């Protein structure tokens, strides 16, 4: 059983000239393992900022508020410590890591998170099985991380990590973006397998309702201008599908 608590979180993005711009304006959210929370909102509302701030991305600074994982202060932890504590971020735009093969990357991450190297035989088998289920081409494992990967391959690789690293709390930032229906199904099945086999909670960030047909959220939160402005169950996602986000946006004068 794991609980992620976000309490009155205010955070800013660090701009290129090193000034900061406030983005998160008091976010409150609690996610428990076994639960899927969809975070939906218009572009630019701060969804990626929320995920990146929780994961400890250096481009974001916390101005006030708290993030607790099982009562432990996440904001005091280094990025590595957050991963070891069980936090996982699937990035909206996964980064390329030149010179590091996917195979090495996955084994190194697994070793760092578990505190010991996985047994080589089971590990090789687990990786192969997960790759097959995600319909990832076998040659990807020897390619450098995300280098030359298509958009869909990058997203599959994020979910491959999710399945292998078995986090307590997964922050999935627009894992659906840029996927065709077949890829969306494959990726969603991966998330659902992880939900079934691990004691994991999910923050499912998405702009569109499409992925919610495959990954069923119990809770839907609407995000606008850096905070949660509406909350409900799956019916709220249906309303957003029909009506869009207009009602949550400030009227244009």
Which one of 3-11, 89-97, 122-130, 155-163 is the stretch in contact with Mg ion (CB under 5 A)?
89-97
Please report, as residue ranges, which positions from 35 to 74 form the binding site for ligand ADP (by CB under 6 A). 41, 43-49
Footprint (CB under 5 A) of Mg ion, residues 91-120: 92
Based on the shown chain and the rule CB under 6 A, indicate whether residue 244 belongs to the binding site for ligand ADP: no
SS3 track for the chain? CCEEEEEEEEEEEECCCCCEEEEEEEEEEEEECCCEEEEECCCCCCHHHHHHHHHCCCCEEEEEEEEEECCEEHHHCCHHHHHHHCEEEECCCCCCEEEEEHHHHHHHHHHHHHCCCCCHHHHHHHHHHHHHHCCCCHHHHHCEECCCCCHHHHHHHHHHHHHHHCCCEEEEECCCCCCCHHHHHHHHHHHHHHHHHCCCEEEEEECCCHHHHCCCCCEEEEEECCEEEEEECHHHHHHHHHHCCHHHCCCCC
Environment class of residue 155 by beta-carbon count within 10 Å: exposed (0-12), middle (13-18) or buried (19+)?
A: buried
13 binds ligand ADP (CB under 6 A): yes
Candidate list 33, 45, 48, 175; residue touching Mg ion; CB under 5 A: 48
Binder of residue 122, out of ligand ADP, Mg ion, none (CB less than 5 to 8 A by kind): none
Task: Figure out which of the listed residues 9, 23, 27, 236 binds ligand ADP, where binding follows CB under 6 A.
Answer: 23
Pick 186 or 205: Cβ nearer Mg ion: 205
Binding-site partner at residue 15 among ligand ADP, Mg ion, none, CB < 5 to 8 Å by type: ligand ADP
Q: Give min distance, CB of 153 to ligand ADP, in A.
A: 22
- Tell me which of Mg ion, ligand ADP, none is bound by residue 152, counting a contact when its beta carbon lies within the kind-specific cut-off of 5 to 8 angstroms: none
Q: Using CB distances below 5 to 8 A depending on partner kind, what does residue 233 bind out of ligand ADP, Mg ion, none?
A: none
* Least distance CB 48 / Mg ion (angstroms): 3
| Residue 188 interaction partner, one of Mg ion, ligand ADP, none, beta carbon < 5-8 Å per kind | none
Q: Does 43 bind Mg ion (CB under 5 A)?
A: yes
Terminal CA-to-CA distance of the chain, rounded, Å?
A: 48
**Is residue 19 near Mg ion by the rule CB under 5 A?**
no
Question: Do residues 22 and 225 make contact, with C-beta atoms less than 8 angstroms apart?
Answer: no
CB-wise, 190 or 226, nearer to ligand ADP?
Answer: 226
Residue ranges that bind ligand ADP, judged by CB under 6 A: 13, 15, 21, 23, 41, 43-49
Binding positions for Mg ion, rule: CB under 5 A:
43, 47-48, 92
């Amino acid at each position: 059983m794991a609980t992620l608590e976000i309490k009155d979180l205010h955070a800013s993005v660090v701009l290129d000239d090193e000034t900061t711009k406030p983005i998160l304006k008091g976010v409150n959210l609690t996610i428990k393992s076994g639960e899927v929370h969809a975070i939906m909102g218009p572009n630019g509302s701060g969804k990626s900022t929320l995920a990146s701030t929780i994961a400890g991305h250096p481009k974001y600074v916390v101005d006030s508020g708290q993030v607790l994982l099982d009562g432990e202060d996440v904001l005091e932890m280094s990025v590595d410590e957050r991963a070891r504590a069980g936090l996982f971020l699937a990035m909206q735009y996964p980064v390329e890591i030149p010179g590091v093969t996917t195979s090495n990357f996955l084994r190194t991450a697994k070793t760092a998170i578990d505190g010991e190297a996985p047994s080589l035989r089971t590990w090789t088998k687990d990786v192969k099985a997960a790759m097959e289920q995600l319909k990832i081409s076998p040659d990807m494992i020897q390619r450098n991380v995300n280098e030359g990967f298509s958009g869909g391959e990058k997203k599959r690789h994020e979910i491959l990590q999710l399945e292998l690293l078995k986090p307590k709390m997964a922050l999935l930032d627009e894992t659906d973006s840029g996927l065709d229906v077949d890829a969306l199904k494959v990726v969603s099945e991966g998330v659902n397998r992880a939900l079934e086999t691990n004691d994991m909670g999910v923050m499912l960030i998405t702009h569109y309702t499409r992925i919610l047909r495959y990954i069923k959220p119990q809770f839907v939160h609407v995000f606008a201008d850096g905070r949660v402005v509406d909350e409900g169950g799956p019916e709220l996602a249906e309303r957003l599908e029909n009506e869009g986000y207009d009602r949550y946006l400030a009227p244009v004068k």
